[in-house]
Structure 1
Amino acid sequence: MPPNPVRLAARAVIVHDARLLLVNAWPKGRSTLLCAPGGGVEPGASLPDNLAREVHEETGLRVDVMAPCLVNEFHDPRSGFHQVEVFFRCTIIGGSRISADWQDPENIVTHHIWATQEDMAGLHFKPSSLAQVAFADADALSYDPLETIVM
């Protein structure tokens, strides 16, 4: 059996009013795992264009995609799933309010959290370095080596 192809995803690091936007990562509440909004890229569109589309689908927000700040990769040894994610700092265009009745067209994202740096200590999120990168003032690009996905 040939190995699964590596999936490429783009994710948004959106910090607004000292809070990071997180979304649930598993449909139907299968896990408490949270992540930054975003998802798989579609061929023929740039990473920033894919990311702006994904953020809007998942939250209804419009964003301006800035510089990359983190490259993360993870895998699931049981299924062979392997994903490389490029995280970009983003700023909100317009309002930051996510409508309570907003629906992700793919029905994966069902809730959103605006978390402070202090809140992050009590949350289950991936990648492990997300809070450090999100709340850092540095413009440096970080890399998270391959980690095993956990639900």
Structure 2
Amino acid sequence: MEKLPHILLVDDDDTTNFLNEHMLRKLNVTDQVQIAHDGREALALLTQPPPYMPTLMLLDVSMPGMDGIEFLEAYMRLPQAQQDATIIVMLTTSMDSSDLARIDELPIKGLVSKPLSREKIDMLLQLHFQRQLPGE
């Protein structure tokens, strides 16, 4: 399988980031994983020159500081070409009904429940990148 060039993990939980990065590398999905601990840190990465354009962003909904929804509102002000370069999938344990109501307005391609698993990664790869993890 052809690897994804860059993946950005945006989550305030270090354990979640460690496990997700480990799984993505172990499954040979990518060699390049960048981590941001909240929306502000992710936005800073994306707006530094030259702009960082991850292929896939796994974005936590609930984070202190700038949460996933607030991040997406700011993200929509980035240049369209930069937005088009990244597939954003939100990761969540649960969502507030007011957040769910806003999902359709946000530039995300999907919503996946935590924890991330081999099956969920395979589904994301097939759905958004026409790739499939090799059989075990």
| Largest Rg, 1 or 2 | 1
Greater share of residues in helix: 2
Q: Fold conserved (TM > 0.5)?
A: no
Q: What's the TM-score once normalised by structure 2's chain length?
A: 0.29
Greater share of residues in strand: 1
Q: What's the TM-score once normalised by structure 1's chain length?
A: 0.27
